[in-house]
Structure 1
Amino acid sequence: SLGRGMATIPMFTAVISYMKNGKEFLLTDTVGFIQKLPTTLVAAFRATLEEISESSLLVHVIDISHPLAEQQINAVDKVLSELDVSSIPRLIVWNKVS
Structure 2
Amino acid sequence: TTTAPATTQPTGDTIRLSDRERDAILNSNTVESAAAARGERLPGTGPGIHGEIGAMIGSNGTRGVYGTASIPLGDNAGAVISFESSQYNWPRRAR
In proportion to residue count, which structure has more strand?
Answer: 2
The TM-score with structure 2 as length reference comes to 0.29
Q: Which has the higher contact order (CA 8 A, sep 6+)?
A: 1
The structure with the largest alpha-carbon Rg is 2
